[in-house]
A and B are shown apart, each in its own frame.
Chain A
Amino acid sequence: MDKFAFDIAHFLAGSLVLVSLMLLYQDRLSALLNVFAFQAVVLALSVSWQAYVQGAPHLYLTAAIALIVKAIVIPVALHRMIRRLGIHREVETALNVGTTMLAGLALVALSIVVVLRVTADAGTLAREDLAFALSVVLLGLLMMVTRRNAVSQVVGFMSLENGLILAATGAKGMPFVVEISVAFSVLVAFIVIGIFLFRIRERFDTVDLQALDDLRERRG
């Protein structure tokens, strides 16, 4: 592959990792959702570049799904949801940004080291994409671990799934059926989580998941 195509792919995949770290940095919910939508746009660009480079037209469809579902539908729905829950101005103060960022950087370093060692005989682009995809997945997990608000945890889960899509497009020959089913299962998960959010709020008057832990302690 020529150097220019590789540079563009490197640029887009690297930006995806950067946006994942930006997600960790945001402590306001509405800003978090905007960054999440931006991540989906970057993902769609990255996937369509892969489609162009690999000459794989079905990847364009994956990019379109990412763009429509994750950059438009889910962020708009989440925006309306936090507005209805009345938490769109809420600031999460439970986490320390500096510590989380350090942990995030350590995870990026870890995934780069691991993937580069393990995939010594794979193609250049696939190796790099896998390294970045693993970073995005781990950063999404970190986000789910460090946040207490249920909506932020949903965003963490969705950004984790963005990493999976990046990995799938980097590795050639991922069946399209699998991608479709992943996309729809995420959509279903989103709907289920949305219903749960309202149920949690009805019970506890908050979407702070700490409340669930308190309940368990009281019973036990």
Chain B
Amino acid sequence: MIDMSLIDGLSIQISQMLLVLVSAPLLTGLVRRVKARLLRRQGPPLLQPYRDLIRLVRKEAVIAESASWLFRIVPYIVFAATWVAAALVPTFATGLLFSWSADLIVIIALLGSARFFLALAGMDVGTSFGGIGSSREAMIATLAEPALIMIVFTIALVAGSTQLSTVANAMLAGVGLRVSLGMALIALIIVAIAENGRIPVDNPATHLELTMVHEAMVLEYSGRHLALIELASSIKLLLYASLIACIFVPWGLAPAGAPLHVHLIGVAVYAAKLGVAGILLALFETMIAKMRVFRVPDLLGAALMLGFLGTLLRFVSRSL
């Protein structure tokens, strides 16, 4: 006899995987559109990222002669790791089948391995651009990852777990006004901006050699490989938005075992949260200028400091 909760969990898990896959380019399109409107430009239509992806898939994938087998498999690894990570973050419901493995540290590790392989692929062809991109990405990552770990510690000390559905439930139950949570939120936003290569750390819309980080790494890719990498970076943006929403504004998440209409409300609330996140991101990017690459460690150092301070303050109020 098959357990009903297993079927429920599985169907929620599958719909979540499809949801993140389908809505990720839409979020990217929304950010681009709002940014263009704020700059008084017409801007591309909302569905443009989908069209770009389809166009890229149809095109031939050109591979450099000096590329090894690694160059060919990296897009698939990056896409798979990012997709799995995004599927683990509770977006509209907490009753995911794999919620026992939806641990913050697992998600960081998945994203870290995706970045590791992408940096390797950037150096694989042997052009100077890829090398620059990879070394800059590594510089950002060495600061962003410890900051993310400190944020996780702060959240875990407040909520009593690193498992995301437990964290969301603890936040829903109310943890009081915590200054360390505010610090964790600011630090997480800084890390999210750095990891997704948004302004002020990197500019996703430019191909100017002095400024680019992510774009320099993937410069040699084309065709379906490029489509996979672009989709993976859209999913990563969606993942960070869902992560912030799940930890800091968990209202509207459907609890495990809830009836269907609660889940539908959960999806609607999630869409609203993503919309707000996209508009806020576009506003922020319009208001701020890009930083020099060598100023980025200062910004990420501030995130690291906030995470560390949050953990420290949490220890004070726990030991009283």
- What is A's interface to B at a CB cutoff of 8 Å? 3-4, 7-8, 10-11, 14-15, 17-18, 21, 25, 97-98, 101, 105, 108-109, 112, 116, 124, 127-128, 131
Contacts and interface: CB of A to CB of B under 8 A. Distances in A.
A168 B77 CA distance: 58
Contact of B179 (A15, A108, A116): A15
Given A10-B179, A14-B180, A18-B179, A108 B312 contact: yes
Contact of B313 (A14, A98, A101, A116): A14
A109 B301 contact: no
Interface residues of B, number: 22
A11 B179 contact: yes
Given A10-B177, A112-B316, 7 more contacts: A4-B177, A7-B177, A10-B178, A14-B180, A25-B302, A97-B301, A98-B298
Interface of B: 176-180, 182-183, 297-298, 301-302, 305-306, 308-309, 312-313, 315-317, 319-320
B186 to A, nearest CB: 9
A128 B316 CA distance: 7
Considering residues B178, B301, B309, B315, which has the most beta carbons from chain A within 10 angstroms of its beta carbon?
B309
Give the dominant DSSP class at A's interface: helix
B173 to A, nearest CB: 14
A116 B176 contact: no
Contacts of A17: 309, 313
A8 B177 CA distance: 7
A151 B76 CA distance: 56
Given A17-B309, A21-B305, A112 B298 contact: no
A3 B308 contact: no
A3 to B, nearest CB: 6
Nearest to A108: B312
Question: Which 4 A-B residue pairs are closest in the complex by CB-CB distance?
Answer: A14-B179, A7-B177, A7-B176, A11-B179
11 contacts: A4-B176, A7-B178, A14-B179, A14-B180, A18-B306, A97-B301, A101-B301, A101-B302, A112-B316, A116-B319, A128-B317
A18 B177 CA distance: 16
Contact of A112 (B180, B302, B308, B315): B315
A108 B309 contact: yes
Given A25-B302, A97-B298, A105 B177 contact: no
Nearest to A116: B319
B316 A131 contact: yes
B307 to A, nearest CB: 11
Contacts of B177: 4, 7-8, 10-11
B298 A105 contact: no
A116 B316 contact: yes
Give the dominant DSSP class at B's interface: helix
Contacts of B176: 3-4, 7
A104 to B, nearest CB: 8
A10 B308 CA distance: 17
A24 to B, nearest CB: 10
Contacts of B308: 105
Nearest to B317: A10
A7 B301 CA distance: 27
Given A7-B177, A25-B302, A98-B298, A105 B319 contact: no
A98 B305 CA distance: 10
Nearest to B175: A7
Nearest to B308: A105
Contacts of B319: 116
A102 B179 CA distance: 20
A17 B306 CA distance: 11
A39 to B, nearest CB: 15
Given A11-B177, A11-B179, A98-B297, A105 B316 contact: no
Contacts of A3: 176
Nearest to A24: B305
A65 to B, nearest CB: 25
A3 B309 CA distance: 22
Contacts of A11: 177-179, 182
Nearest to A115: B316
A153 B312 CA distance: 27
A130 B85 CA distance: 43
Nearest to B179: A14
Nearest to B177: A7
B218 to A, nearest CB: 30
Considering residues B182, B183, B316, which has the most beta carbons from chain A within 10 angstroms of its beta carbon?
B316
A150 B222 CA distance: 57
Contact of A18 (B178, B183, B298, B301): B183
A137 to B, nearest CB: 16
A14 B317 CA distance: 10
A112 B312 contact: yes
B305 A105 contact: yes
Contacts of B297: 98
Nearest to A98: B301
Nearest to B315: A112
Contacts of B309: 17-18, 21, 105, 108
